[in-house]
Amino acid sequence: QQQVKQSPQSLIVQKGGISIINCAYENTAFDYFPWYQQFPGKGPALLIAIRPDVSEKKEGRFTISFNKSAKQFSLHIMDSQPGDSATYFCAALGDSNYQLIWGAGTKLIIKP
Amino acid sequence: DTAVSQTPKYLVTQMGNDKSIKCEQNLGHDTMYWYKQDSKKFLKIMFSYNNKELIINETVPNRFSPKSPDKAHLNLHINSLELGDSAVYFCASSRGPGGTQYFGPGTRLLVL
């Protein structure tokens, strides 16, 4: 119940295309869903986050879509650029309210 | 200027040795974390301290011992290093438990 399942494990997208990464969870007590971006040789950094009271949040080219009934959320990167090549992690705040439960990560490569 | 810093950046050592990794944050945060990231990029929480009190203590070998001398510092001591300990270790901090986590640059540990 504490797991967050992330797919795909890796993704290759052409420059200008849409990148989509999906996550699913079981625990309905989760109430905060962040996405972190990690470039090679760096630590992860918060990219965008959503709470379950909204179905979508957009920041620039990055959008989180949230489906509460399906217990799924996804990251969409519009007009993907080579600089977006990184590993992306979804996460959910556990019902203990202080432990983030992390997805396994998606390695995204944007081809020029 | 650096928000979360770790030393050393690289650590190469022999099996059986004891080593320490240091972490400092200048963000004024109350909560600090240690993560292990393996070669498949999976992020595993190891420990978390809030106001110098241990709040997350995941199942890790007792060869790993965290120590928080004050809210700005969280060190990780590893006894009797094993080959499987080779990984990147990240320190992170947040304003409070469950808050946005800010990661350090990582310490790349290689056990030979």
Q: Do A98 and B4 touch (CB under 8 A)?
A: no
Q: What pLDDT score does A98 carry?
A: 77
CATH architecture, domain A4-111? Sandwich (2.60)
Segment B78-107 mean pLDDT:
95
* B92–chain A Cβ distance below 8 A for any pair: yes
* Shortest distance, CA A78 to any CA of chain B (angstroms): 24
Segment B58-81 mean pLDDT:
94
Q: What pLDDT score does A97 carry?
A: 64
Question: Could you say which of A43, A49, A100 has the minimum Cβ distance to residue B90?
Answer: A43
Of B69, B34, B55, B81, nearest in space to A96 by CA? B55
Q: What pLDDT score does B2 carry?
A: 72
pLDDT in tens, B24-67: 999 999 999 999 999 999 999 999 999 989 988 888 899 999 99
Domains annotated for chain B, with CATH where assigned, are: 4-111 (2.60.40.10)
Q: What pLDDT score does B57 carry?
A: 85
Would you write out chain A's pLDDT as a tens digit for each of its 112 residues? Answer: 679 999 999 999 999 999 999 999 998 889 899 999 999 999 999 999 999 899 999 999 999 999 999 999 999 999 999 999 999 999 999 767 678 999 999 999 999 9
Q: Do A44 and B31 touch (CB under 8 A)?
A: no
Tell me chain B's radius of gyration from C-alpha atoms.
Answer: 13
Segment B10-19 mean pLDDT:
97
User: What is the band of B1 on the pLDDT scale with cuts at 50, 70, 90?
Assistant: low
Q: What pLDDT score does A79 carry?
A: 98
> Could you state, in order of their start, the residue ranges of all structural domains in chain A?
4-111
Tokens coding B85 = 């300990």
Q: Do A44 and B42 touch (CB under 8 A)?
A: no
**Chain B residues whose beta carbon lies within 8 Å of the beta carbon of residue A89:** 43
Choose the mutation target among A23, A37, A98 for the interface with B, i.e. most B CBs under 10 Å.
Answer: A98
The answer to whether A43 and B103 are in contact (CB under 8 A) is yes
**Chain B residues whose beta carbon lies within 8 Å of the beta carbon of residue A38:** 41
* Segments of chain B assigned E as strands: 4-7, 10-13, 19-25, 31-37, 43-50, 53-57, 64-70, 73-78, 87-94, 102-103, 107-111
Segment B84-110 mean pLDDT:
95
